[in-house]
Amino acid sequence: MPGDTLHVNNKAAGQNTYDAIVIGSGISGGWAAKELTEKGLKVLMLERGPNFEHIKDYKTANKDPWDFPHRGSATLQQKTDNPVISKDWAMYGTAAQEAVMDYWVKEKDCPYVQVKPFAWWRSYQMGGRSILWGRQSYRWSDIDFEANSKEGIGIDWPIRYREMASWYDHVERFAGISGSKEGLEHLPDGQFLPPMELNCVEKDVAARIKQSYKGQRHMFIGRVANLTAAIPGRTKCQFRNRCWEGCPFGGYFSTQSSTLPAALATGNLTVRPWSIVTKILYDKDTKKAKGVEVLDGETNKTYEFYSRIVFLNASTLNSAWVLMNSATDVWPDGLGSSSDQLGHNVMDHHYMLGAQGIVEGYEDKYYYGRRANGFYIPRFANLYGDKRDFLRGYGFQGSASREGWKRDVAELSIGADYKEALTEPGAWHIGATGFGEILPYHENKITLDKNKKDKWGLPVLAMDAELKENELKMRKDIVKELVAMFEAAGVKNITTWDSKEYAIGQGIHEMGTARMGKDPRSSVLNPNNQVWDATNVYVTDGACMVSSACQNPSLTYMALTARAADHAVNELRKGSL
């Protein structure tokens, strides 16, 4: 079986030794590499997928629609081979687009078991999902960090906003987040570049919502990791809205445009693509990790690399996979399993539900460019005296725009009049989708299925997670409240959707599986993201999350990663690791 032979070149142990190993090169791994190298550590970044170079590999970014052999659609074969990303999905119609088909994981090679339906959106290449992400970036507040403790759900977060604020500042300044300051306690303001603008219809709807709800509900431009002003090495966003093909201008935050060049510039970073980390090597005597085992994805050869610390940033579910697959006789259920929490408490956000309608009265108005952003309506449920029959809350993301030439003109279907009619833009539409908090449940879990193997003969994950009563009640409320707000704003012909196909994972905000905590008996990681059972291993991606809030989570992973890197370097300097 591929990968069974261990090719250990003992003489090479010296060459294969670094101060730190970072597993994964996505949003969180990129940050770990940048922070650790800038603090002087020699770092090896291991990425399971192929290399993917900034600018050079954005092969479609400057193509026109007619340059694509299949006019933008994936082929039937590609869709059959990749059923998860080929499912109906709301972002740009469908994710199975010709331009980005190669950016997604090859699902056939990397299967997983769905004990219960689970959508797993993966990108196994340099940069991970930092190329494909939607870039919406929001801080959490103490309302989020304190909710578990106040409501007796799961366990308490071991940190509070005051410990995160300066790290949010730090990552926002470097990543470049544009947004407006709103002064909301539950959605703290940050270090923003100038905000993008709401268009005329969105401004009107925002004003009407504000008035109808007496200033208690807010709608403003999204906070997004697209540059509205140039920063060193990166040009400002050109409003092309083709971000997920990769941006040759570096107009949005990705590993390639931002953290990787910074880490490489230190001269301290070695990057190794095609490196599937299969195990963290645990040393029983020191009770620490001594390095990692890697299966080369191209040659199927196995290697070992050694380091003083390991940052595990393979993404929420893959980081749990690495820990589980690192089982030894000391930890038979995996490294970090002593609390029986490893793989448990899987969370995500509600998605695939919302409403849309038509706004009249702006037929003589248009807007500039293709803004790579929309509006945001932050949480209001269960806040400041509002009380619902479920816990926590939700926010909305959406936009208003005019129909283009693809719309149907009911009375016409052919001829000069038809062409003529389509040179004019159509009606103004507004639509939004909800993102809601999902609670952590111990029984929502992932496990290793040793009977099913991937292309490399490695065991795969089995997903066993579902929505419960709190979530089902919230979904109803999300749609109801959006309709009420649209009606209050004068939106006409409102239609709603709540896809029965929604399964956990589809929000692409997987969290949990190795939560932080104050007590090693109930958490996998300590308050500094160190694995209690091997303190030189830090897990700083979504696996560490203790609850899910309703804000898009990646900014919080960035801040936690920078904070943990600082901790690790200080501990190394003190000789405590």
Ligand X SMILES: Cc1cc2nc3c(=O)[nH]c(=O)nc-3n(C[C@H](O)[C@H](O)[C@H](O)COP(=O)(O)OP(=O)(O)OC[C@H]3O[C@@H](n4cnc5c(N)ncnc54)[C@H](O)[C@@H]3O)c2cc1C
Where on the chain is the footprint of ligand X (CB under 6 A)?
Answer: 23-29, 46-49, 91, 121, 123-124, 128-130, 132-136, 275-277, 313-315, 318, 322, 508-509, 541-542, 552-554, 557
160 closest CA partner among 174, 175, 172, 143? 143
User: Closest distance between ligand SF4 and the C-beta of residue 26, in Å?
Assistant: 18
User: Among 142-150, 232-240, 341-349, 529-537, which window interacts with ligand SF4 (CB under 6 A)?
Assistant: 232-240
- Nearest distance in Å: CB 120, ligand X: 10
372 binds, options ligand X, ligand SF4, none, Cβ within 5 to 8 A by partner type: ligand SF4
Contact 328, 527 (CB under 8 A): no
Q: Does 372 bind ligand SF4 (CB under 6 A)?
A: yes
399 binds ligand SF4 (CB under 6 A): no
Return the SS3 of 304: strand
Is 191 buried (19+), middle (13-18) or exposed (0-12) by CB count in 10 A?
A: middle
Least gap, CB of 256 to ligand X (angstroms) = 11
What is the C-alpha separation between 397 and 219, in angstroms, rounded?
9
Report the amino acid identity of residue 107.
E
Q: Give Cα separations from 320 to 197, 327, 378, 445 (angstroms).
A: 40, 12, 31, 11
Query: Can you give the length of the chain in residues?
Result: 577
Our CB check for ligand SF4 shows the closer of 233 and 457 to be 233
Shortest spacing between CB 49 and ligand X, in angstroms: 4
> Cβ contacts of residue 18 below 8 Å, gap of 6+?
41, 42, 43, 44, 270, 305, 306, 307
Our finding on whether 247 is near ligand SF4 (CB under 6 A) is yes
Residues 250-269 that bind ligand SF4 (CB under 6 A): 251-252
User: Edge-to-edge strands of the sheet including 113-114?
Assistant: 113-114, 459-464, 445-453
Which member of 92, 239, 306, 362 binds ligand SF4 (CB under 6 A)?
Answer: 239
Min. distance of Cβ 222 from ligand X in angstroms? 9
Say which residues have a Cβ less than 8 Å from residue 131's Cβ, sequence separation at least 6: 52, 103, 123, 125, 244, 246, 254, 255, 256
Instruction: Kindly determine how many residues on this chain lie close enough to bind ligand SF4 according to the rule CB under 6 A.
Output: 13
| Backbone CA torsion sign across 505, 507, 509, 511 | negative
Smallest separation (angstroms) from ligand X to the CB of 24: 3
- Sorted by sequence, the CB contacts under 8 Å of residue 414 that are 6+ apart come out as none
> What are the contacts of 11-18 at 24+ separation with CB within 8 A?
13/304, 13/306, 16/291, 16/303, 16/304, 16/305, 16/306, 17/291, 17/305, 17/306, 17/307, 18/42, 18/43, 18/44, 18/270, 18/305, 18/306, 18/307
Q: Which is nearer to ligand SF4, 94 or 235 (CB)?
A: 235
**Least Å from the CB of residue 554 to ligand SF4:** 16
CB nearer ligand X, residue 213 or residue 456: 456
- Per CB under 6 A, does 100 bind ligand SF4? no
Give the integer Cα–Cα distance in Å for 458 and 518. 33
What is the residue whose two structure tokens read 């109803």? 476
Using CB under 6 A as the binding rule, whether residue 237 contacts ligand SF4 is answered as yes
- Residue in 122, 129, 217, 242 binding ligand SF4, rule: CB under 6 A: 242
Q: Identify which of residues 226 and 275 has a Cβ nearer to ligand SF4 in the complex.
A: 226
Q: SS3 for 353?
A: strand
Return the one option of ligand SF4, ligand X, none that residue 237 interacts with (CB less than 5 to 8 A, by type).
ligand SF4
Rounded CA-CA distance 40/499 in Å is 49
User: Quick one: which segment of 248-256, 445-453, 460-468, 474-482 binds ligand SF4 (CB under 6 A)?
Assistant: 248-256
CB contact set of 411 (below 8 Å; sequence gap of 6+): none
> With contact defined as beta carbons under 8 Å apart, do 232 and 363 qualify?
no
249 forms part of the interface with ligand SF4 (CB under 6 A): yes
- Residue 554 interacting partner from ligand SF4, ligand X, none (CB closer than 5 to 8 Å by kind): ligand X
CB-based closest residue to ligand SF4: 251
Nearest distance from residue 100's CB to ligand SF4, in Å?
12
Among the listed residues 17, 238, 270, 399, the single contact to ligand SF4 using CB under 6 A:
238
Name which of 30, 28, 31, 33 is nearest 44 in CA terms: 33
Sole window of 41-49, 211-219, 235-243, 389-397 interacting with ligand SF4 (rule: CB under 6 A): 235-243
> Which of 286, 322, 232 is closest to 513 using CA atoms?
322
Beta pairing partners, 134: none
Using CB under 6 A, which residues numbered 282 to 311 contact ligand SF4? none
Give the one entry of ligand X, ligand SF4, none that residue 47 binds, where binding means its C-beta sits below a cut-off of 5 to 8 angstroms depending on kind: ligand X
Closest to ligand X by CB, 26 vs 251, is 26
- CB 196 → ligand SF4: shortest distance, Å? 10
Among 226, 341, 554, 561, binds ligand SF4 (CB under 6 A): 226
Distance, first Cα to last Cα, the chain: 37
When the beta carbons of 276 and 572 are compared against ligand X, the nearer one is: 276
Name the binder of 328 from ligand SF4, ligand X, none, CB < 5-8 A by kind. none
Shortest Å, Cβ 454 to ligand SF4: 32
Judged by beta carbon distances under 5 to 8 A according to partner kind, the member of ligand SF4, ligand X, none in contact with residue 16 is: none
Q: Report which secondary-structure segment, H or E, holds 472.
A: helix 469-488
Q: By C-beta, is 134 or 436 nearer to ligand SF4? A: 134
Judged by beta carbon, residue 118 or residue 252, the one nearer ligand SF4 is 252
CA–CA dist 549, 202 (Å, integer): 25
192 lies in the binding site for ligand SF4 (CB under 6 A): no
How far is it, in rounded angstroms, from Cα 322 to Cα 312? 8
Q: Which is nearer to ligand X, 353 or 489 (CB)?
A: 353
465 binds, among ligand X, ligand SF4, none (CB under 5 to 8 A by kind): none
Residues that bind ligand SF4 (CB under 6 A): 226, 237-243, 247, 249, 251-252, 372
